[in-house]
């Protein structure tokens, strides 16, 4: 019995020693977290609040959560991230835990055949094996940047051309000081270039004021008869020089609510364009039509017309269907852009119908006064809507 007791004691001691060593070894090791296949608490709420397309991948590259934007852009199909570049980036982030950013172009059908540009940020979610992919659509930002670059380039050209011409003409006048006829001819050209420069600057100031935060004038009842008459009078001399007949027709005695000066500017720009792009001995007509909810003022000509592919761009700043003819007639390329912004400020719109060789019709469509919201005390509903 004593021998058995000794053996039992020896075995117990060895077992206790092994257990102690295993316990110490277990304490000395930092356990690796088990891969997670569910979203940590609170992550779903955060993802729902993000404006970007958000995708969470589990350790097996399956999609645990995808925002509606990610699915709308077709970055995700079912439980798969279908963009190979994004998947490869997510695997790299999972391996080394380093946050990565990049930009990618994805061919999606949401906005037609063109690709969509995304700014992408990929990050690990703690030590869970989950990876978060954020993709923000940069297409509109890039478009705005391109428009801004084009605007700077265009305005630089538009200002440099008359300034350069004035400088050259001034030198020519100085050299021809002993030739009165040449001096008269060149000073006439200088006046034309100075007038063109003034027009460009004035149009830029008008466009900047309309687009900026400068408050609009207090809206008033504006009689359209006076707007049409003033616009026609402003271009009558140019029309007479080409034997173009100016006529007005339609409903009389109609008024709208707005800024009379801006409405005259919009109408004058349309009529001036119609005269400039019409051949001699034709007609330019202005008509007023009242519908159940709008007042439409149309300017129709019998001019050269606008090609179909240019119709959507004629309201862009400095866009010219015929650049050479526009400069010859003194156009700045800003008139229709100004018209568009004036209509936006009046909660209206401008539309165009045209056919090459058959002329064009531009229509200003304004809300009828009785369809506008009533003014609130202490505020201006019209101005708030315009801004």
Q: For residue 23, tell me if it sits in a domain.
A: no
Query: Looking at the structure, do residues 115 and 250 belong to the same domain, yes or no?
Result: no
Query: Looking at the structure, do residues 341 and 226 belong to the same domain, yes or no?
Result: yes
Give residue-wise pLDDT tens across range 217-255.
Answer: 678 899 999 999 999 998 998 899 999 999 999 888 999
pLDDT at 112: 47
pLDDT at 40: 66
Q: In whole angstroms, what is the distance from residue 333 CA to residue 330 CA?
A: 9
pLDDT range class, residue 29, cuts 50, 70, 90: very low
pLDDT at 377: 36
Q: For residue 30, tell me if it sits in a domain.
A: no
- Relative to beta strand 283-290, strand 245-250 is parallel
Range in 176-180, 192-196, 253-257 with the lowest mean pLDDT = 192-196
Q: For residue 118, tell me if it sits in a domain.
A: yes
**Sign, CA torsion 16/17/21/27:** positive
Q: Above pLDDT 90, what percent of the chain?
A: 20
pLDDT at 216: 57
Query: Looking at the structure, do residues 226 and 134 belong to the same domain, yes or no?
Result: no
pLDDT at 337: 87
pLDDT at 35: 47
Q: For residue 332, tell me if it sits in a domain.
A: yes
The enclosing domain of 87 has a CATH number of: 3.30.450.20
Query: Looking at the structure, do residues 89 and 234 belong to the same domain, yes or no?
Result: no
pLDDT at 41: 66
pLDDT range class, residue 379, cuts 50, 70, 90: very low
Query: Looking at the structure, do residues 359 and 221 belong to the same domain, yes or no?
Result: yes
Q: Above pLDDT 70, what percent of the chain?
A: 74
pLDDT at 68: 82
Query: Looking at the structure, do residues 133 and 222 belong to the same domain, yes or no?
Result: no
Query: Looking at the structure, do residues 249 and 365 belong to the same domain, yes or no?
Result: yes
Backbone angles phi, psi at 136, to 5 degrees: -110, 130
Range in 73-82, 163-172, 366-375 with the lowest mean pLDDT = 366-375
Residue 180 pLDDT > 60: yes
User: Higher model confidence: residue 26 or residue 238?
Assistant: 238
Q: For residue 381, tell me if it sits in a domain.
A: no
The enclosing domain of 263 has a CATH number of: 3.30.565.10
Q: For residue 29, tell me if it sits in a domain.
A: no
- Range of 280's domain? 216-370
Residue 46 pLDDT > 80: no
User: Higher model confidence: residue 163 or residue 92?
Assistant: 92
pLDDT at 42: 67
Query: Looking at the structure, do residues 353 and 232 belong to the same domain, yes or no?
Result: yes
pLDDT at 109: 52
Q: For residue 340, tell me if it sits in a domain.
A: yes
Number of domains in the chain: 2
pLDDT range class, residue 334, cuts 50, 70, 90: confident
Query: Looking at the structure, do residues 221 and 366 belong to the same domain, yes or no?
Result: yes
Residue 12 pLDDT > 50: no
pLDDT range class, residue 75, cuts 50, 70, 90: confident
Q: In whole angstroms, what is the distance from residue 153 CA to residue 295 CA?
A: 38
pLDDT at 70: 85
Give residue-wise pLDDT tens across range 92-146.
Answer: 999 888 899 888 887 755 444 467 888 899 999 877 788 889 988 888 787 777 7
Q: For residue 16, tell me if it sits in a domain.
A: no
Query: Looking at the structure, do residues 229 and 358 belong to the same domain, yes or no?
Result: yes
Q: Which of 294, 271, 292, 264 is nearest to 365 (CA)?
A: 294
Range in 89-93, 142-146, 170-174, 185-189 with the lowest mean pLDDT = 142-146
- Among residues 117, 138, 159, the one where a domain terminates is 138
Residue 160 pLDDT > 90: no
Query: Looking at the structure, do residues 129 and 263 belong to the same domain, yes or no?
Result: no
Q: How much is the average pLDDT of 347-365?
A: 91
Q: What is the average pLDDT score of the chain?
A: 77
User: Higher model confidence: residue 301 or residue 40?
Assistant: 301
- Among residues 79, 111, 138, the one where a domain terminates is 138
- Among residues 92, 111, 138, the one where a domain terminates is 138
pLDDT at 363: 95
């Amino acid at each position: 019995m004593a021998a058995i007791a000794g053996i039992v004691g020896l075995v117990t001691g060895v077992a206790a020693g092994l257990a102690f060593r295993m316990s110490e070894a277990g304490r000395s090791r930092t356990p690796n977290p088990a891969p997670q296949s569910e979203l940590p608490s609170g992550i779903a709420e955060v993802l729902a609040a993000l404006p970007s397309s958000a995708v969470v991948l589990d350790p097996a590259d399956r999609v645990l959560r995808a925002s509606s934007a990610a699915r709308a852009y077709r970055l995700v199909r079912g439980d798969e991230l279908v963009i190979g570049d994004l998947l490869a980036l997510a695997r790299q982030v999972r391996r080394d835990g380093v946050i990565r950013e990049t930009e990618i172009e994805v061919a999606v059908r949401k906005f037609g055949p063109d690709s969509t540009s995304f700014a992408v940020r990929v990050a690990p979610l703690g030590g869970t094996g989950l990876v978060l992919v954020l993709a923000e659509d940069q297409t509109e930002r890039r478009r705005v940047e391109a428009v801004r670059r084009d605007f700077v380039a265009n305005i630089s050209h538009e200002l440099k051309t008359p300034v350069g011409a004035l400088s050259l003409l001034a030198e020519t006048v100085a050299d021809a000081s002993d030739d009165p006829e040449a001096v008269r001819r060149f000073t006439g050209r200088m006046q034309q270039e100075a007038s063109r420069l003034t027009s460009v600057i004035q149009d830029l100031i008008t466009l900047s004021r309309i687009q900026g935060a400068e408050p609009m004038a207090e809206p008033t009842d504006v009689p359209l008869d006076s707007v049409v008459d003033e616009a026609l009078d402003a271009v009558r001399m140019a029309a007479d020089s080409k034997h173009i007949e100016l006529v007005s027709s339609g409903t009389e005695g109609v008024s709208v609510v707005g800024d009379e000066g801006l409405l005259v500017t919009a109408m004058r720009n349309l009529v001036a364009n119609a005269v400039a792009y019409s051949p001699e001995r034709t007609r330019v007509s202005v008509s007023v039509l009242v519908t159940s909810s709008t007042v439409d003022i149309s300017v129709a000509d019998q001019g050269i017309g606008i090609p179909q592919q240019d119709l959507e761009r004629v309201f862009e700043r400095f866009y010219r269907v015929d650049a050479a003819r526009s400069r010859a007639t003194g156009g700045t390329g800003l008139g229709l852009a100004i018209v568009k912004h004036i209509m936006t400020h009046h909660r209206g719109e401008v539309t165009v119908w045209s056919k090459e060789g058959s002329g064009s019709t531009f229509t200003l469509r304004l809300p009828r006064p009785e369809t506008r919201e009533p003014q609130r005390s202490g505020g201006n509903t019209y101005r708030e809507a315009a801004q």
